[in-house]
C-alpha cells in the first residue's frame, strides 16, 4: 500500500491502536460485503428468478463501481479532511448494502451493487494514508497492515458467517449485516480517528501527473488481467460445489473459509517473494496461478479435492502485495490515487472474471470451465509482465 508521509503529530500508542481498529472494522465490512454475494449466488438466483451467470453480472457491477469510484472519489475528496471523507465513504457503503438487502429485481440488484462498490477503493487508500500519518516513520507499514487485517479476517470469517446467515434467514440478511457493520464503523471512526485540521491536503493535479509513467499503467494492467482468473473461479464456487462436487449447501461456507486460508497464505508469501525477487515475483506468482487454475477443474469432482483446489486458488492473492509495492515505488508522489487505483485494477479483475466465466457457462462449457478461462487470463497477465520487463523502467 502506497502511503504518504505527513507532518501530523504522532499519536500515543493506545490512541493509535484504537484508531487502527476503528478503520479495520470498515475493512472487515468491505471485505464481507464484496464477497458475500458469491457464497449466496444460488439463493439470490432462486429468490429473484435469475440464472447464476446473471447474479455474476451483479458481482461485476460491484467491481465496476470500485473501478469508477476509487480514482474519482479519491480526486473529488482530495480537499476534504480525511476523517470526514472516511465517514462519507462508509455512509455510502452502508447505503449501498442496505439497499441491496431490499432490492426487488435484477436491474435494481445490479444498480445497488454498483453503488456499494463506489467507496471501496477510496476508503482503503485514505485509511492507509491516515494510519501511516499518525505513527512514527518506522512503524508506518505496520499501521497500514493492521488496518488491512479486517479484509483478511473478512475472507476467513466474515464471508462464511454471512453465507451461513443468508442460508438460514434469507440472502438479504447478509447484506443487512454488512450495512450494520458499516454503520458501526461510522461511529467508531467518529470517536477514535482524530480531527486534524492542520493535515496536509492532497493536490489532485500533482497526483494525476504522476500517472504519466507507463510502468504504472503496466502494473495496473497486470492486476486487472492477471488477477481475473481467481475471481472467475471463486465467483462460481457455490454452484460448482452444488452441481459438480455434489455436496449440500451447508458445505459452501467451508469452501469460502478454505479460500480465506489460501488468501492468508498467499498474502504472506507475496510480500516475502517481492522482498527476495523484486518485480520478478509477479511473474512467479502468475506462473503458479496458471498451474493452480488448470488443476482446479480436476479437483472439483470431490469434496476434499475442491477444498484443496479453492484454497490453492486463494493463494493467488500473493499477486496483490508485489503489485502494490511496485506501484508504491513507481508513484511515491501520488499516494492516495495510487492506493485507490490499485484496488480499482483488482476490481476490474473482479468484473472481468465473473463476466468471462459467465459467458463460458452460458455457452454450455460447464461450471469447471472457469478454471481454464482463468488460466488464460493469468497467461495474458504474464504476457503483460514480460512486456513491462522489456520496457524502459522495467527490472
Give the tens place of pLDDT for each residue, 143-202: 766 787 787 788 788 888 898 898 899 899 999 999 999 999 999 999 998 887 666 666
Residue 76 has pLDDT above 70, yes or no: yes
CA diameter of the chain: 60
Domain assignment of residue 6, yes or no: no
pLDDT for 385 beyond 90: yes
Q: Is 142 part of any domain? A: yes
Are the beta carbons of 90 and 182 closer than 8 angstroms? yes
Per the structure, the complete domain to which residue 58 belongs is given by 13-390
- pLDDT tens for 14-51 read 888 888 899 999 999 999 998 888 778 888 888 888 88
Q: State mean pLDDT over 265-286.
A: 84
Q: What is the mean pLDDT of residues 129-136?
A: 77
List of residues 6+ apart from 315 with CB closer than 8 A: 262, 263, 265, 266, 269, 288, 292
205 neighbors 46 (Cβ within 8 angstroms):
no
325 pLDDT more than 80: no
SS3 assignment, position 77: coil
* 7 part of a folded domain: no
d(CA 60, CA 80): 30
**pLDDT above 90 (res 89):** yes
Report d(CA 395, CA 393) in Å as an integer: 7
In angstroms, rounded to a whole number, what is the distance separating the alpha carbons of residues 282 and 292?
A: 15
Residues with Cβ within 8 Å of residue 268, at least 6 apart in sequence: none
What is the pTM assigned to this prediction? 0.74
In a domain, 281, yes or no: yes
Q: What is the pLDDT of residue 145?
A: 66
pLDDT for 112-129, tens place per residue?
999 999 999 889 878 877
In a domain, 306, yes or no: yes
Q: Is residue 395 part of a domain?
A: no
Distance CA 202, CA 12 (A): 25
Query: In the prediction, which pLDDT does 302 show?
Result: 94
Number of structural domains (the chain) is 1
Residue 294 lies in a domain: yes
* Residue 1 confidence (pLDDT): 39
Q: What is the pLDDT of residue 11?
A: 72
What is the rounded distance in angstroms from the CA atom of residue 37 to the CA atom of residue 114?
A: 13
Question: By three-state DSSP, how is residue 367 classified?
Answer: coil
Beta-strand runs (E) in the chain: none
CATH code of the domain containing 213: 1.20.1250.20
Amino acid at each position: 500500500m502506497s502511503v504518504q508521509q505527513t507532518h501530523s503529530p504522532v499519536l500515543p500508542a493506545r490512541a493509535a491502536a484504537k484508531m487502527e481498529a476503528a478503520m479495520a472494522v470498515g475493512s472487515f465490512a468491505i471485505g464481507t460485503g464484496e464477497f458475500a454475494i458469491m457464497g449466496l449466488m444460488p439463493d439470490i438466483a432462486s429468490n429473484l428468478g435469475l440464472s447464476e451467470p446473471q447474479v455474476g453480472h451483479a458481482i461485476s457491477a460491484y467491481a465496476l463501481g470500485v473501478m469508477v469510484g476509487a480514482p474519482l472519489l479519491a480526486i473529488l475528496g482530495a480537499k476534504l479532511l480525511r476523517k470526514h471523507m472516511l465517514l462519507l465513504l462508509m455512509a455510502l457503503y452502508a447505503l449501498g448494502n442496505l439497499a441491496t438487502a431490499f432490492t426487488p429485481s435484477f436491474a435494481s440488484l445490479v444498480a445497488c451493487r454498483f453503488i456499494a462498490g463506489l467507496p471501496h477503493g477510496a476508503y482503503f487508500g485514505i485509511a492507509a494514508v491516515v494510519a501511516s500519518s499518525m505513527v512514527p516513520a518506522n512503524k508506518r507499514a505496520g499501521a497500514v497492515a493492521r488496518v488491512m487485517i479486517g479484509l483478511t479476517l473478512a475472507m476467513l470469517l466474515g464471508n462464511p458467517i454471512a453465507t451461513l446467515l443468508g442460508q438460514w434467514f434469507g440472502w438479504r440478511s447478509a447484506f443487512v449485516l454488512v450495512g450494520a457493520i458499516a454503520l458501526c464503523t461510522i461511529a467508531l471512526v467518529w470517536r477514535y480517528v482524530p480531527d486534524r485540521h492542520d493535515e496536509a491536503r492532497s493536490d489532485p493535479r500533482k497526483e494525476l501527473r504522476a500517472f504519466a509513467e507507463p510502468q504504472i499503467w503496466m502494473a495496473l494492467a497486470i492486476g486487472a488481467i492477471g488477477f481475473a482468473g481467481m475471481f472467475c473461479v471463486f465467483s462460481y464456487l457455490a454452484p460448482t460445489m452444488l452441481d459438480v462436487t455434489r455436496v449440500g449447501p451447508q458445505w459452501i461456507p467451508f469452501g469460502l473459509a478454505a479460500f480465506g486460508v489460501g488468501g492468508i497464505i498467499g498474502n504472506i508469501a507475496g510480500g516475502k517473494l517481492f522482498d527476495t525477487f523484486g518485480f520478478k515475483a509477479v511473474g512467479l506468482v502468475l506462473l503458479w496461478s496458471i498451474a493452480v487454475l488448470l488443476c482446479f477443474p480436476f479437483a472439483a469432482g470431490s469434496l476434499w479435492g475442491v477444498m484443496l483446489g479453492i484454497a490453492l486458488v486463494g493463494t493467488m492473492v500473493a499477486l496483490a502485495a508485489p503489485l502494490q509495492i511496485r506501484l508504491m515505488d513507481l508513484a511515491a508522489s501520488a499516494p492516495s490515487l495510487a492506493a485507490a487505483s490499485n484496488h480499482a485494477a483488482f476490481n476490474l479483475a473482479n468484473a472481468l472474471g465473473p463476466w468471462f466465466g459467465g459467458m463460458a457457462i452460458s455457452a454450455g462449457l460447464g461450471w469447471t470451465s472457469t478454471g481454464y478461462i482463468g488460466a488464460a487470463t493469468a497467461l495474458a497477465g504474464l504476457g503483460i509482465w514480460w512486456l513491462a520487463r522489456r520496457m524502459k523502467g522495467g527490472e
